[in-house]
Amino acid sequence: MEPYGASHLVMLGVFVVGLAAAVLVGRHDRRTGSVVVSRSLALLLPAVTVPLQVYDVVTRFEIGVSLPLHLCDLAWPAAAYALWTRRPWAVGLTYYWGLVLTTQGIVTPSLGEAFPEVRFFAFWALHLLIVWAAVYLVWGLGLAPRWREYRLVMAVTLAWAVGAYAFNLVADTNYGYLVRKPSSGSALDLLGPWPVYVLAEIAIVAAIWALMTWPWARTSRRHAPSPRG
C-alpha cells in the first residue's frame, strides 16, 4: 500500500469518523449504563482479527510477519478484555498502546499489501478497532488511567521488547522494529541509527505516556474527598 495514496487516505477518513463515533457512543453508554456496545465491540475484535490472522498463517506464512509478536497483537486482546470487563489495568494497556503505538501504524503504515488484499483488511481492522476502543473507554466511558496503570504498562512493554528482541535475534526477524527501521519510512527515521532510535523511542514513549497520565491523575486528586480531621 502506498503511504498517503488513495486507499490510505480513505482509511484515515474512516479512522477520524470512528473516533467521533466512539466518543459519542461511549458518553451515551456512560449516561445509560448500557454494556451492549462495549461487549459487542469486545466480541467483534477477536471475531474480526482471529480469522484473518489464521487465514494469513495458513495461506501466506512468513516468519517475520505472520507470528503474533507485534505489540498490536497484544493490544487487541487487552482491548477486548477492557471492553468486556472495564478493568483499569486492561483499559490502561489499551489507552497507552492504542493511542501512541497503534496510532503510529495508522499514520505511517508499513504494509506491503494494498486493497483488496486480505492483509490490508487485517491490518486496518486490527489498528482501527484498538484505537477506537481506547477512545470509547477513556473519553466515552470516562475510565481514565492513573499512575498505577502507567507503571504497569511501562513494565509490560519493556518485558515485551526484551522478549521480541531476543526472538528477532534468533529468527532473524524484525518484530517491533527493534532490529532495524521499516523500509517504507516512519517517524523512527528522525531518531538516528540503531540502537539509538530504540533507546530514544523508549524515552519518548515513557515521556508521552506520562503526559497522557498527568491530567487524569491531577483531576483525580482534585476531586478526591478531603481527609476528615
Domain extents in the chain:
6-222
**CA–CA separation, 146 and 168 (whole Å):** 33
**pLDDT surpasses 80 at 222:** no
Q: What percent of the chain has pLDDT over 70?
A: 93
Q: Is the pLDDT of residue 80 over 70?
A: yes
Closest CA to 107 of 186, 188, 18: 186
Query: Any idea which residue has 514513549 for its cell?
Result: 205
Cβ(36)–Cβ(90) under 8 Å?
A: no
DSSP character string of 49-87: HHHHHHHHHHHH--TTTSSTTSHHHHHHHHHHHHHHH--
Q: For 159-203, what is each residue's pLDDT tens digit?
A: 999 999 999 999 999 998 899 987 766 777 888 899 999 999 999
Higher pLDDT, 215 or 111: 215
> What pTM does this model have?
0.87
Reported as a single tens digit per residue, the pLDDT across 82-109 is: 999 999 999 999 999 999 888 888 887 8
Q: 38 falls in which pLDDT band (50, 70, 90)?
A: very high
